Amino acid sequence: MMLNQVLAKDNMLLALKRVERNKGKHGVDMMPVQTLRKHILENWSTIKTQIIEGTYQPQPVRRVEIPKPDGGVRLLGIPTVTDRLIQQAISQILTKVYDSTFSEFSYGFRPNRSAHDAVRQAKSYIEEGYRWVVDMDLEKFFDKVNHDRLMATLAKRIKDRNLLGLIRSYLQSGVMIGGVFSRTEEGTPQGGPLSPLLSNIVLDELDKELESRGHRFVRYADDSNIYVKSRRAGERTMKSIQHFIESKLRLKVNEGKSAVARPWERKFLGF
């Protein structure tokens, strides 16, 4: 049923408009956004049939390096415009399923929420007397997401096996680096429309854990801050949450960039 919702005409049209509006660079097939509409009009029946039959093969993403302000580079994987369209269509339907179940303290990549809202929430904790922060940095989060674990999480809510297969094919589409194909065994490459939502689905488990422990926290994508009343509480929290992230979520905390500190000593979302 859900794959039909993804491929429904109104959902595909909305996805097409969003991809056109976001513009963006070309993928490995060099097709610009400007010709996407014509390409889809001419080829949609073939593409749609392949998706329904489970034979559609996404193209590898194109590796792009974006310099980070702190030195180093952020690796992006740019899908072809056709794959951006299909990912966007999937994302729109999954957002309807998942977004209402997410934590109210998760602010990244969500409708009607912003980094400013996250910063405002953080300030209100500090004003309430939670004047220490546990600043957790996840190491290369988007490159480290475990595919099997993510697919098992998705299968709890999505019963349409064809849709699950299509999502897995996007996770495993591979990457082209300087004309050489490389497999993707883990991670959800930053650069496609589906990646932000999948990252929130993975980290929703962290949010639920923090909520069940009664923590005051703010999360924006892979930036997680927990607000506590003393350094000791902060160090205790850091230790137990790091254990949860590494053993349960199978992700890695970057110890060099994580710290227990005063909020005004740490940057949160550039503020």
pLDDT in tens, 71-98: 888 889 999 999 999 999 999 999 999 9
Residue 47 has pLDDT above 90, yes or no: yes
The pLDDT, as a whole number, for residue 71 is: 81
The pLDDT, as a whole number, for residue 161 is: 96
Q: Enter the pTM of the model.
A: 0.93
Q: Where do the domains of the chain lie?
A: 2-100+149-185, 109-143+198-265
Residue 45 in tokens: 């029946």
pLDDT in tens, 194-252: 999 999 999 999 999 999 999 999 999 998 999 999 999 999 999 999 999 999 999 99
Q: CATH number for the 109-143+198-265 domain, one of 3.40.50.2300, 2.60.40.420, 3.30.70.270, 3.40.47.10?
A: 3.30.70.270
Which range, of 5-19, 74-88, 140-154, 155-169, averages the lowest pLDDT? 140-154
DSSP 44-111: HHHHHHHHHHT---PPPEEEEEEE-TTSSEEEEEE--HHHHHHHHHHHHHHHHHHGGGS-TTB-TT-T
Place of tokens 């096996």: 161
| Residue 41 CB neighbours (<10 A) | 9
pLDDT in tens, 174-206: 999 988 999 988 888 889 999 999 999 999 999
* CA–CA distances in Å: residue 107 to residues 114, 122, 170, 177: 6, 11, 25, 32
